[in-house]
């Protein structure tokens, strides 16, 4: 049992994909399509295993990462020691092989080894892990022997190895088949040395080993194929001039970023032809693909080039000393300094080279731990990445709350981000190296392969196998450096950066009045109490923030995660898709990788094809920058004044005088809170302006480009673009800046839909379509005025709820109307159709609730129903009733309620808003009215929240029954345990809620009580959460989050289904969760498709399937009798006196009579 | 009006068993978590009488003295203060109804000099109400008067609750006395506080003590402190936090009366209480109080770090001030908790003159 636990623990830590240890834990990803289907039983892992691995690094995963880092930095002594330890904890585990192979591969590549010691070390490791060795390892032995043994010696070691392998009943042919290790020349040599008769090999094997083919007929056909393949690169020069033109006409930034590309374009043979030709893209996109690859590859280097160029430029313009006006010049100074510091740091770290024992708390050893990681990248890259990451953190708002509270960046977050960016860059380099090696191998054999049909087939097969292979072979996992590692190395980088980042500030001396300047640190590492906890914060100087926020031409773009210049790689696997040189996971997991195992398994079984297709289709939509809104925004920006969501350049603060010597100290408190508020606003405005600048900068770079957003999902299946910052799921500002690159003529109804779209953006969405069109027609003069004089005219567009999107729509309407022939006008702006309270729509459909369905437009109505209005009316009528009974609160409130007061609560109710959350929403809505005394707000909102909840329950009774059922099931499940665990005496709550969406996507709720851990870094100690999948679950959170997560998984499924249908119908489709976008001319068609998808989705008896899945998945699970009683579960008489009783999934609530097909006729279902 | 001494309060009259929930103070509720706090009160009048005699405070007050006493509970401290100072007016702020009867009895024997106000002393607005309703009438000291002596007509006394609220109350009183807010508005008003262990240790720590806090620095900078009653256990508790005792123990105020540790003079919870006398120093106009706060707050975030390393906590680039600070005679190699209040004042003055001070940081102007 002991070794089994060890093994399991190791499997967890090292992120191996399949875990199947004597039925302990099996991965279940089968979607329950029929009741008969077998469901594997999922069993949680015992927490006690967690403590069985006590090794010096404290954490297993850190050791594996350290091992990888040592191998890549050619530190073979240390890596062998680490591998030996890992082997000790992984006895009998075949998954050790890839790690040993990695070691051998790099050792042989380095060339600095002796054959005997290599074999001795590997054998010791194999012995420790109780494994005999496989054909790949022997292939490496052979390779090493060929390299190290002299021909005259007769290759004794090679012979010995062959004998040994045969003694183990292995076939030498299996070793020779390891073509990923041995090239054909080596194989042939080995065959010669070992005197293997060629007759004993099959023709397939001969072809694979590079012997001449015999079948000439096949040869011809393949030659043709080969010629086709070879002809593709020739297409490149034909399109080359287009490419160069494009470069010339592009925005400034990108051209700078692609500087290296420009150089390469002169010599077409240097273009990544092989890469391009092997990808499945239309030939017209080959050049862009090459550009995309180079963009991803050389982004960091280009950023440095750009800084250097601007630094030198400033140097030339400004005379003797560089001016600090240009941010990039400043960055270049920091860069050169930081690079030198990293060099020194590396030298210092070398001093600890052999002190490999890691032990937190001892500084010597901690540094020895970080050394190999820092050596993985060149110091130039380390320096540039650190600067880019810090600047990105302070200039883009990740969380509004954080900016408001800290005026800076949390150290814990920053160190992790910097460390993570190192890892990404390293990964990207690895992918490039591996690709290059792969290409070389093919190129060596290219002629050969193309002349030989069998070899060609074998090569293609191998390529495919490599592409599809995921398990077994060593592969650097995504985000595999544990947070401990990223935090530690990030802290080293940030602490060096803090010393390097200085800036000159000019000021007037107060005593003499002279202008002078002083060089000060640009950042300070300070502390602040946040939510009662002392947190380290990195605060930039205000002068730096101003510098970043004021200049539009700042080269701040983070090289990673930019929009793509070509269609993203289609998703074919959990980590294959999207960008070319950065591996992204298909799901965004916040550290807890449990779900990934399920997704991999589902992917392996081919259950995720539809999801992959839909995600790829979403990424295939081509976008461009809307030039009209871009120009308007740039004008606003350059004016420096605040407008709409764009904050002003200079924020003026009017603070009343400080109440000195106040009799009532509360006056002082009030003054301080006002001061804090104003200062927060000022800081937020700065940060927001930085954030806007950042987005605008990206838009500027991509001004004349056609670009794409690769997408991935959160754990519930909701879709998001991977590209950060500028994308259509972002705020109104970003949405207004983007439009479809491909235009389509408006057609007969397109203009009307554009008008409906505009009215929706003005918030007029609860009237029929004709009235919405009329609204625009009535204001057509305003439309023209806004188009002609967006900033000088009456600025009607600014009164819209989403002004920048409205401006884009206005421009299209104005142009189309003026064109005289709107039907032929080519329109690019996406028209949006939103669901009416989409969560409630799904609930109503699940419960077939006729009343609820009517309220959320599932059934046909003449005009759209307004659910907020309906709830508000119920609340008002109840208040009136209570008021008549003499309730004072009701009397005071009855005239103060309208749609807006209840709207946020109704909207979020379905997504699991709590009582406290709803109360706060109502408080803020009541505050906005301004006629309610502050001291009464609390009482009023408490009263009203209860009222709104009751009204919602009355209106959507069945929806609430389903919600209750879902959360009850989840609560019961999280409190249950497999029967044998209970026999063993385990009581920890370990079972998460797991379900499968109708498209086969497995979802695991990640809410667990993760343990916190202090990490000592050279900046400060950082508290990190161990995202450990064996932590106990949080039953309350699991239960509270399940209904909203389940509904989110349904709306995501609806989106996927609609997307697939749209793809089939060749309609452009983009989406923001429950808002579906397409061209104006395709709105009707998309409308019909999305309704069909909805009906199809809900015709699947989702709830029955879910219950069925639960019953099978949690069969033989036990629950404590107290909880079973609390939830009125059936307890048989034989269990009556037991403490634990079998878990029974409650019966489903009854369904209503709503006819789903009515949705097909509902005009305002999505409108 | 003739003055009649109040009879001595005996243990049998004031013991906790006589009252329902005697120590529970109904604090002004800020949020749901605010539960009634425990506030022990004095039961041994002899100790208080002795302490007052030893303090020699009587001479410093005029016959027009007004005493404001917060949370008098069973009235032992009130009786002692009344008999010793013979004030013109003695205001008792008590919100616990369980003590209303004994306090009323007391005040009835004083011919109107002692007045029970059934209000919460923890609420700052209570004092504004007292002033508005003219129950509390005091003259405001001019700057010259403040320079000459503490306020001669106003004295504040209180039993401070234990735990968080006691700490909060004490640190706020120290802050307000320094900035002349609240009763400090009238000038250098003296305060007598019965402090439980935790606020006592917080307020008394001096330079060289590891738990040096903002409150302690403020007290040292702006307030003269005497410990009238203090026992050995508190002293020992304090000394535990001092790594180099010979160098720094001299800065600790010595108690005038030191009762034996086994003497229990507080009910219902005896936690080694001490009686401190806080008298604000004359106002220093040359120092910006909010900047001083910013400096001590910033530097004490990492109290054990060396001054030269932690200056950047004040803002990016503040390490440029090291030469100026060194020149002013402050040892930049010392850890922050070893800096004296005067050192902090010096740093504040230098920091104030620095033109590159971050304007976004806490300041009186944004």
Which of A524, A532, A686 to probe the B interface (max B CBs under 10 A)? A524
Residue B353: closest C-alpha in chain A: A510
Find the length of chain A. Answer: 1167
Min Cα separation B179/chain A (Å): 7
Query: Residues with Cβ < 8 Å from B309, sequence gap 6 or more?
Result: none
Residue B360: closest C-alpha in chain A: A679
User: Quick one: average pLDDT of A401-411?
Assistant: 66
A678 interfaces chain B, CB cutoff of 8 Å: yes
Residues B202 and B245 in one domain: yes
Chain B residues lying within 8 Å of A666, measured CB to CB = 124-125
Query: CA–CA separation, A678 vs A539, rounded Å?
Result: 18
**B128 vs A653: CB contact, 8 Å cut-off?**
no
**B125 vs A525: CB contact, 8 Å cut-off?**
no
Q: List the one residue out of B123, B172, B107 whose CA is nearest residue B25.
A: B123
Query: CA–CA separation, A1087 vs A1160, rounded Å?
Result: 9
Residues B119 and B228 in one domain: yes
Residue identified by tokens 């809104």 is: A629
Residues B272 and B325 in one domain: no
pLDDT at A33: 37
Query: pLDDT by residue (tens digit) across B103-153?
Result: 999 999 998 999 999 998 888 889 999 999 999 999 999 989 999 999 999
- Chains A & B: contacts with CB separation below 8 Å: 97
Question: Would you say A574 and A599 are in contact if contact means Cβ atoms under 8 Å apart?
Answer: yes
Whether the per-residue pLDDT at A395 is higher than 80: the answer is no
Residues B238 and B90 in one domain: yes
A671 interfaces chain B, CB cutoff of 8 Å: no
pLDDT at A127: 86
Residue B332 falls within a domain, yes or no? yes
Query: pLDDT by residue (tens digit) across A450-487?
Result: 566 666 666 555 555 454 443 334 454 545 677 888 88
Query: CA–CA separation, A244 vs A288, rounded Å?
Result: 11
Among the partner residues B319, B360, B366, nearest to A407 by beta-carbon distance: B360
Q: Which residue has the higher pLDDT, A200 or A818?
A: A818
Residues B271 and B313 in one domain: no
Query: CA–CA separation, B278 vs B178, rounded Å?
Result: 11
If pLDDT is split at 50, 70 and 90, which confidence band does A285 have? low
Residue B119 falls within a domain, yes or no? yes
Which of B133, B305, B317, B357 to probe the A interface (max A CBs under 10 A)? B317
Query: CA–CA separation, A31 vs A798, rounded Å?
Result: 49
Residue A499: closest C-alpha in chain B: B317
Among the partner residues B298, B316, B366, nearest to A682 by beta-carbon distance: B366
User: Quick one: average pLDDT of B332-359?
Assistant: 90
CA dist A657 → A191, A672, A675, A756 (Å)? 92, 11, 10, 51
Chain B residues lying within 8 Å of A658, measured CB to CB = 290, 364
pTM of the complete model beyond 0.80: no
pLDDT at A1159: 92
Q: Which residue positions of B form the known binding site? A: 42, 94
User: Of B213, B247, B280, which residue constitutes the final position of a domain?
Assistant: B280
pLDDT at A780: 93
Min Cα separation A499/chain B (Å): 11
Question: Would you say A1013 and A1001 are in contact if contact means Cβ atoms under 8 Å apart?
Answer: no
Q: Which residue has the higher pLDDT, A354 or A61?
A: A61
Which of B30, B184, B187, B316 to probe the A interface (max A CBs under 10 A)? B316
A527 interfaces chain B, CB cutoff of 8 Å: yes
Question: Would you say A331 and A305 are in contact if contact means Cβ atoms under 8 Å apart?
Answer: no
Longest CA–CA separation in chain B, Å: 66
Among the partner residues B128, B182, B366, nearest to A678 by beta-carbon distance: B366
Lowest mean pLDDT among A150-154, A354-358, A1104-1108, B332-336: A354-358
What tokens were used for A602? 């589902």
Among the partner residues B128, B185, B316, nearest to A520 by beta-carbon distance: B316
Lowest mean pLDDT among A690-699, A940-949, A970-979: A690-699
B225 interfaces chain A, CB cutoff of 8 Å: no
Residue B5 falls within a domain, yes or no? no
User: Of B280, B297, B330, which residue constitutes the final position of a domain?
Assistant: B280
pLDDT at B170: 94
CA dist B292 → A548, A561, B223, B327, B356 (Å)? 31, 45, 15, 19, 17
B164 interfaces chain A, CB cutoff of 8 Å: no
DSSP β-bridge partners for residue B41? B267
Question: Would you say A808 and A1057 are in contact if contact means Cβ atoms under 8 Å apart?
Answer: no
Q: How many domains is chain B built from?
A: 2
pLDDT at A179: 76
A540 interfaces chain B, CB cutoff of 8 Å: yes
Whether the per-residue pLDDT at A557 is higher than 70: the answer is no
Query: CA–CA separation, A603 vs A327, rounded Å?
Result: 46
Query: CA–CA separation, B104 vs B112, rounded Å?
Result: 11
User: Of B219, B253, B280, which residue constitutes the final position of a domain?
Assistant: B280
Q: Which residue positions of B form the known binding site for S-adenosyl-L-methionine? A: 42, 94
User: Quick one: average pLDDT of A135-146?
Assistant: 88
Query: CA–CA separation, B172 vs B182, rounded Å?
Result: 10
Q: Which residue has the higher pLDDT, A927 or A295?
A: A927
**Helix ranges restricted to H, A765-886:** 769-778, 780-788, 803-818, 838-846, 850-855, 867-884
Query: pLDDT by residue (tens digit) across B14-70?
Result: 888 888 888 888 776 666 666 778 889 999 999 999 999 999 999 999 999 999 999
Query: pLDDT by residue (tens digit) across B272-291?
Result: 899 999 999 998 888 888 88
User: Quick one: average pLDDT of A773-789?
Assistant: 94
Residue B3 falls within a domain, yes or no? no
User: Quick one: average pLDDT of A812-818?
Assistant: 94
Residues B298 and B235 in one domain: no
The two beta strands, A994-996 and A1140-1142, are unpaired
CATH number for the domain harbouring residue B357:
1.10.8.100
pLDDT at A917: 87
Question: Would you say B196 and B233 are in contact if contact means Cβ atoms under 8 Å apart?
Answer: no
Query: pLDDT by residue (tens digit) across A735-747?
Result: 999 999 999 999 9
For the stretch A622-655, what's the b/e string if a residue is b when 16 or more beta carbons lie within 10 angstroms of its beta carbon?
bbbbbebbbebbeebbeeeebbbebbebebeeee
Residue B97 falls within a domain, yes or no? yes
Chain B residues lying within 8 Å of A505, measured CB to CB = 317, 356
Among the partner residues B301, B313, B366, nearest to A679 by beta-carbon distance: B366
Among the partner residues B131, B302, B316, nearest to A541 by beta-carbon distance: B316
pLDDT at A66: 80
**B181 vs A662: CB contact, 8 Å cut-off?**
yes
Stated as kind and residue range, the H or E segment containing A521 is strand A515-521
A1148 interfaces chain B, CB cutoff of 8 Å: no
CATH number for the domain harbouring residue B35:
3.40.50.150
- Asked if the bond preceding A949 is cis, omega within 30° of 0, the reply is no
pLDDT at A298: 60
Residue B343 falls within a domain, yes or no? yes
User: Quick one: average pLDDT of A389-410?
Assistant: 67
CB atoms within 10 A of CB B128: 18
pLDDT at A297: 65
Residue identified by tokens 């010696």 is: A153
**How many alpha carbons lie under 13 Å from residue A533 in its C-beta half-sphere?**
9
If pLDDT is split at 50, 70 and 90, which confidence band does A1082 have? very high
Question: Would you say A476 and A485 are in contact if contact means Cβ atoms under 8 Å apart?
Answer: no
Residues B271 and B296 in one domain: no
Residue B255 falls within a domain, yes or no? yes
pLDDT at B20: 87
Average confidence score pLDDT of chain B:
89
Query: CA–CA separation, B93 vs A694, rounded Å?
Result: 59
A505 interfaces chain B, CB cutoff of 8 Å: yes
Lowest mean pLDDT among A183-197, A703-717, A1100-1114, B22-36: B22-36
Query: pLDDT by residue (tens digit) across A883-905?
Result: 888 888 888 888 888 888 888 88
Residues B119 and B264 in one domain: yes
Residues B63 and B210 in one domain: yes
B302 interfaces chain A, CB cutoff of 8 Å: yes
3-state secondary structure A374-417: HHCCCHHHHHHHHHHHHHHHHHCCCCHHHHHHHCCEEHHHHHHH
B188 interfaces chain A, CB cutoff of 8 Å: no
Residues 166-185 of B with CB under 8 A from A: 172, 176, 179-182, 184-185
Percentage of residues in chain A with pLDDT exceeding 90?
A: 20
CA dist A1013 → A360, A494, A902, A1026 (Å)? 12, 21, 42, 7
B352 interfaces chain A, CB cutoff of 8 Å: no
Query: CA–CA separation, A915 vs A10, rounded Å?
Result: 42
Residues 70-129 of B with CB under 8 A from A: 124-125, 127-128
Stated as kind and residue range, the H or E segment containing A980 is helix A979-983
CA dist A524 → A328, A557, A680, B126 (Å)? 20, 23, 18, 42
A1002 DSSP assignment: E
Query: pLDDT by residue (tens digit) across B212-252?
Result: 999 999 999 999 999 999 988 888 888 888 888 888 888 88
**B359 vs A542: CB contact, 8 Å cut-off?**
yes
Residues B89 and B53 in one domain: yes
Which of A521, A543, A665 to probe the B interface (max B CBs under 10 A)? A665
**A521 vs B316: CB contact, 8 Å cut-off?**
yes
If pLDDT is split at 50, 70 and 90, which confidence band does A317 have? low
Among the partner residues B185, B290, B313, nearest to A527 by beta-carbon distance: B313
Q: Give residue B360's domain range.
A: 289-364
Query: CA–CA separation, B350 vs A438, rounded Å?
Result: 64
**A655 vs B301: CB contact, 8 Å cut-off?**
no
User: Quick one: average pLDDT of A293-321?
Assistant: 62
A546 interfaces chain B, CB cutoff of 8 Å: no
Q: List the one residue out of A995, A992, A1074, A1068 whose CA is nearest residue A1035.
A: A992
Query: CA–CA separation, A345 vs A342, rounded Å?
Result: 5
Average confidence score pLDDT of chain A:
77
**B365 vs A655: CB contact, 8 Å cut-off?**
yes
If pLDDT is split at 50, 70 and 90, which confidence band does A757 have? very high
pLDDT at A270: 45
Whether the per-residue pLDDT at A15 is higher than 60: the answer is no
Residues B250 and B352 in one domain: no
pLDDT at B277: 96
Query: CA–CA separation, B272 vs B198, rounded Å?
Result: 10
Min Cα separation B99/chain A (Å): 27
Q: List the one residue out of A554, A559, A565 whose CA is nearest residue A694.
A: A554
pLDDT at A814: 94
ipTM of predicted assembly, 2 dp: 0.79
Q: Which residue has the higher pLDDT, A1067 or A679?
A: A1067
Question: Would you say A972 and A1145 are in contact if contact means Cβ atoms under 8 Å apart?
Answer: yes
B143 interfaces chain A, CB cutoff of 8 Å: no
Query: pLDDT by residue (tens digit) across A23-33?
Result: 233 333 333 33
Residues 139-178 of A with CB under 8 A from B: none
Stated as kind and residue range, the H or E segment containing A140 is helix A135-148
**A526 vs B319: CB contact, 8 Å cut-off?**
no
pLDDT at A303: 67
The two beta strands, A1140-1142 and A1117-1120, are antiparallel
Q: Would you please indicate which residues of A are annotated as catalytic (active-site) residues?
A: 834, 903, 1074
Residue B2 falls within a domain, yes or no? no
Find the length of chain B. Answer: 366
User: Quick one: average pLDDT of A911-934?
Assistant: 84
pLDDT at A8: 39
Among the partner residues B131, B176, B317, nearest to A541 by beta-carbon distance: B317
Residues B195 and B276 in one domain: yes
Residue B316: closest C-alpha in chain A: A524
CA dist B304 → A863, B241, B300 (Å)? 69, 12, 8
**B185 vs A663: CB contact, 8 Å cut-off?**
yes
Q: Which residue has the higher pLDDT, B29 or A319?
A: B29
Query: Residues with Cβ < 8 Å from A60, sequence gap 6 or more?
Result: A9, A10, A13, A14, A53, A89
């Amino acid at each position: 049992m002991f070794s089994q636990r060890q093994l399991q623990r190791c499997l967890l830590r090292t992120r191996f994909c399949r875990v199947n240890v004597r039925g302990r834990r099996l991965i279940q990803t089968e979607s329950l399509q029929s009741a008969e289907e077998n469901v594997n039983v999922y069993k949680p892992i015992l927490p006690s295993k967690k403590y069985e691995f006590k090794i010096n690094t404290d954490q297993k995963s850190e050791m594996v990462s350290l091992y990888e880092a040592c191998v890549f930095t050619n530190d073979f002594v240390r890596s062998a020691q680490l591998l030996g330890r890992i082997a000790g904890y992984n006895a009998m585990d075949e998954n050790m092989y890839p790690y040993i192979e990695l070691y051998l591969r790099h050792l042989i590549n380095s060339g600095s080894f002796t054959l005997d010691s290599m074999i001795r070390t590997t054998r010791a490791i194999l012995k420790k892990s109780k494994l005999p060795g496989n054909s790949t390892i022997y292939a490496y032995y052979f390779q090493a022997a060929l390299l190290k043994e002299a021909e005259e010696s007769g290759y004794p070691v090679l012979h010995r190895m062959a004998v040994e392998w045969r003694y183990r009943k292995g076939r030498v042919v299996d070793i020779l088949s390891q073509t990923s290790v041995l090239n054909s020349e080596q194989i042939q040599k080995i065959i010669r040395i070992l005197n293997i008769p060629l007759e004993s090999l099959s023709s397939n094997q001969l072809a694979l080993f590079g012997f001449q083919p015999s079948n000439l007929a096949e040869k011809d056909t393949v030659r043709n194929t080969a010629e086709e393949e070879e002809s593709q690169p020739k297409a490149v020069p034909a399109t080359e001039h287009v490419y160069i033109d494009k470069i010339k006409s592009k925005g400034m930034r990108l051209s700078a970023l692609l500087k290296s590309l420009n150089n390469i374009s002169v010599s077409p043979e240097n273009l990544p032809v092989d890469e391009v030709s092997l990808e499945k893209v239309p030939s017209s996109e080959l050049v862009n693909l090459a550009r995309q690859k180079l963009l991803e590859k050389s982004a960091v280097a280009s950023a440095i080039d750009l800084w250097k160029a601007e630094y030198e430029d400033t140097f030339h313009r400004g005379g003797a000393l560089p001016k600090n006006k240009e941010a990039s010049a400043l960055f270049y100074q920091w860069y050169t300094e930081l690079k030198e510091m990293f060099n020194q740091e590396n030298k210092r770290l070398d001093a600890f080279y052999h002190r490999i024992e890691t032990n937190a708390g001892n500084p010597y050893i901690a540094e020895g731990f970080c050394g190999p990681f820092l050596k993985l990248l060149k110091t130039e890259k380390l320096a540039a990445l650190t600067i880019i990451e810090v600047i990105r953190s302070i200039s883009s708002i990740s969380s509004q709350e954080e900016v408001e509270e800290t005026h800076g960046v949390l150290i814990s977050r920053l160190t992790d981000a910097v460390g993570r960016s190192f890892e990404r860059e390293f990964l990207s380099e690895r992918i490039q190296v591996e690709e290059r090696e792969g290409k070389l191998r093919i190129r060596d054999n290219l002629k050969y392969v193309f002349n030989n049909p069998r070899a060609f087939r074998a090569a293609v097969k191998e390529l495919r196998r490599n592409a599809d292979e995921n398990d077994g072979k060593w592969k650097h996992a995504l985000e595999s450096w544990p947070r401990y590692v990223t935090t530690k190395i990030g802290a080293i980088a940030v602490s060096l950066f803090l010393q390097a980042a200085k800036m000159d500030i000019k000021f007037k001396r107060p005593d003499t009045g002279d202008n002078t300047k002083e060089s000060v640190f640009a950042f300070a590492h300070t502390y602040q109490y946040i939510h009662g906890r002392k947190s380290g914060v990195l605060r930039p100087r205000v002068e730096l923030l101003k510098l970043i926020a004021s200049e539009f031409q700042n080269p701040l773009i983070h090289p990673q995660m930019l929009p793509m210049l070509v269609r993203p790689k289609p998703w074919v696997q959990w980590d294959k898709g999207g960008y070319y040189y950065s591996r992204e996971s298909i799901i965004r997991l916040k550290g807890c990788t449990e779900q990934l195992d399920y997704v991999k398994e589902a992917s392996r079984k081919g259950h995720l094809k539809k999801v992959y297709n839909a995600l790829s289709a979403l990424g295939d939509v081509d976008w461009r920058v809307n030039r009209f809104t871009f120009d308007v925004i740039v004008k606003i920006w350059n004016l420096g004044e605040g407008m709409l969501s764009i904050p002003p350049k200079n924020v003026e603060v009017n603070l009343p005088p400080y109440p000195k010597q106040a009799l009532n100290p509360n006056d002082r408190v009030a003054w301080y809170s006002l001061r804090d508020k104003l200062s927060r606003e000022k800081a937020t405005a700065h940060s927001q302006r930085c954030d806007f600048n950042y987005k605008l900068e990206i838009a500027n770079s991509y001004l004349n480009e056609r670009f794409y957003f690769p997408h991935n999902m959160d754990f519930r299946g909701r879709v998001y673009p991977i590209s950060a910052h500028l994308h259509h799921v972002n705020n109104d500002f970003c949405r207004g800046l983007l439009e479809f690159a491909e235009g389509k003529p408006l057609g007969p109804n397109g203009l009307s839909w554009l008008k409906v779209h505009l009215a929706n953006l003005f918030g007029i969405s609860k009237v029929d379509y004709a009235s919405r069109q009329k609204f625009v027609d009535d204001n057509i003069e305003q439309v023209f005025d806004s188009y002609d004089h967006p900033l000088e005219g009456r600025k009607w567009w600014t009164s819209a709820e989403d002004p920048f999107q409205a401006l884009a729509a206005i421009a299209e309407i104005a142009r189309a109307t003026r064109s005289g022939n709107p039907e032929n006008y080519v329109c690019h702006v996406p028209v949006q159709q939103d669901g009416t309270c989409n969560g409630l729509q799904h609930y109503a459909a699940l419960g077939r609730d006729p009343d609820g369905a009517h309220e959320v437009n599932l059934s046909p109505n003449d005009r759209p129903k307004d659910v907020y209005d309906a709830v508000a009316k119920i609340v008002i009528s109840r208040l009136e009733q209570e008021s008549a009974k003499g309730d004072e609160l009701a009397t005071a409130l009855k005239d103060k309620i309208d749609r807006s007061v209840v709207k946020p609560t109704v909207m979020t109710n379905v997504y699991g808003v709590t009582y406290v959350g709803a109360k706060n929403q109502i408080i803020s809505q009541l505050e906005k009215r301004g006629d309610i005394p502050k001291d009464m707000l609390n009482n009023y909102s408490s009263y009203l929240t209860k009222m709104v909840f009751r009204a919602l329950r009355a209106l959507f009774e069945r929806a609430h029954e389903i919600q209750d059922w879902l959360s009850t099931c989840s609560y019961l499940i999280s409190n249950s345990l497999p029967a044998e665990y209970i026999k063993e005496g385990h009581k920890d709550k370990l079972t998460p809620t797991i379900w499968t969406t109708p498209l086969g996507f497995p979802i695991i709720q990640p809410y667990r009580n993760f343990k916190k851990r202090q990490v000592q870094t050279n900046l400060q100690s950082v508290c990190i959460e161990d995202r450990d999948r064996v932590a106990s679950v949080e039953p309350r959170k699991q239960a509270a989050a399940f209904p909203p997560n389940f509904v989110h998984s349904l709306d995501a499924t609806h989106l996927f289904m609609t997307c697939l249908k749209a793809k089939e119908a060749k309609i452009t489709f983009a989406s923001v969760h429950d808002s579906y976008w397409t061209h104006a001319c395709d709105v009707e068609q998309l409308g019909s498709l999305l309704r069909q998808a909805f009906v199809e989705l809900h015709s699947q008896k989702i709830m029955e399937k879910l219950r069925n899945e639960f019953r099978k998945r949690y069969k033989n699970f036990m629950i404590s009798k107290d909880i079973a009683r609390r939830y009125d579960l059936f307890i048989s008489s034989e269990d009556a006196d037991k403490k634990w009783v079998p878990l029974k999934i409650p019966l489903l609530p009854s369904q209503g009579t709503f006819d789903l097909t009515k949705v097909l006729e509902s005009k305002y279902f999505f409108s | 009006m003739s003055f009649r001494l109040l009879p001595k309060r005996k243990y049998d009259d004031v013991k906790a068993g006589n009252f329902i929930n005697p120590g529970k103070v109904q604090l002004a509720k800020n949020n749901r978590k605010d539960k009634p706090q425990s506030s022990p009160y004095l039961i041994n009048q002899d100790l208080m009488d002795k302490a007052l005699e030893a303090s020699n405070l009587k001479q410093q007050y005029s016959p027009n003295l007004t005493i404001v006493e917060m949370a008098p509970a069973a009235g032992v401290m009130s009786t002692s203060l009344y008999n010793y100072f013979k004030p013109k007016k003695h205001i008792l702020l008590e919100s616990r109804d369980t003590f209303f009867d004994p306090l009323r009895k007391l005040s009835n024997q004083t011919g109107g000099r002692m007045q029970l106000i059934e209000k919460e002393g923890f609420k700052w607005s209570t004092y504004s109400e007292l002033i508005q309703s003219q129950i509390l009438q005091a003259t405001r000291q001019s700057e010259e008067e403040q320079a000459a002596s503490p306020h001669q007509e106003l004295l504040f006394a209180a039993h401070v609750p234990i735990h968080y609220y006691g700490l909060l109350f004490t640190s706020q009183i120290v802050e307000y006395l320094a900035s002349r807010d609240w009763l400090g508005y009238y000038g250098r008003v003296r305060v007598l506080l019965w402090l439980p262990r935790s606020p006592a240790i917080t307020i008394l720590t001096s330079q060289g003590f590891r738990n040096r806090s903002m409150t302690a620095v403020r007290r040292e900078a702006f307030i003269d402190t005497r410990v009238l009653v203090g026992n050995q256990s508190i002293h020992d508790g304090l000394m535990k936090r001092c790594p180099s005792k010979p160098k720094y123990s001299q800065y600790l105020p010595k108690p005038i009366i030191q009762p034996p540790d086994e003497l229990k003079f507080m009910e219902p919870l005896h936690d080694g209480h001490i009686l401190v006398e806080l008298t604000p120093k004359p106002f220093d106009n040359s120092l910006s109080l909010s900047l001083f706060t910013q400096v001590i707050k910033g530097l004490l975030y990492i109290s054990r770090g060396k001054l030269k390393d932690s200056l950047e906590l004040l803002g990016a680039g503040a390490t440029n001030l090291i030469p100026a600070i060194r020149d002013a005679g402050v040892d930049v190699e010392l850890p922050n908790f070893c800096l004296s209040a005067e050192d902090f004042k010096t740093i504040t003055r230098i920091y104030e003159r620095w033109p590159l001070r971050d304007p976004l940081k806490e300041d009186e102007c944004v």
